[in-house]
Amino acid sequence: MSENDSSAVEKLTFLLVGAGIGAVLALLFAPKSGRELRGDIADVTRRGIDAASEGARTVGTKASELYDSGRDRVTEAYGVAREKVVQSADVVSDLASRRKDQLAAAIEAGKQAYYEEKRKSGDVGRAATEGEDA
């Protein structure tokens, strides 16, 4: 509920309470018999209870609408966030796979360069043996 809605509800509540108190005071000081006064007080009380019930229903309806709206927004935000996470995971997986291939190629190129240098230096037998151990 927004600040304006709660402020309006507070004002309405204070208005109803003030009207109820004013009505009771007016009845108490009006020149009527006891029976008439009690009947008037009962009528005012019933009207006050009806107004409070209506206000409670209105607040309940608004709260339910706000809850549903909030739930829908959260569900939508969760779906969007989940989709972005899945997309990011795919990008990271693809990048890791490419880096792995590049690293394997670099290691293989390093081995080839090592064996080539060993062959040039005339230490072919030991380079081949070391290659088998690796």
How confident is the model over 38-76, as pLDDT tens digits?
A: 887 788 889 988 888 888 898 889 988 989 998 999 999
Name the residue range of residue 64's domain.
3-133
Amino acid at position 77, single letter: A
What's this model's pTM, rounded to 2 decimal places? 0.41
Burial class (CB in 10 A: 0-12, 13-18, 19+), 54: exposed
22/43 Cα distance (integer angstroms): 14
Alpha-carbon distance of 89 to 95, in angstroms, equals 10
Q: Mean pLDDT across the stretch 89-113? A: 86
pLDDT tens figures, 3-37: 666 787 888 888 888 888 887 787 777 777 778 87
Of 20, 15, 14, nearest to 44 by C-alpha is: 20
Structurally, the chain folds into a number of domains equal to: 1
CA 102, 108, 110, 116 dihedral sign is negative
What amino acid is encoded at 131 in this protein?
G
pLDDT tens digit sequence for 102-133: 888 888 988 998 888 888 887 655 545 555 55
d(CA 29, CA 23): 10
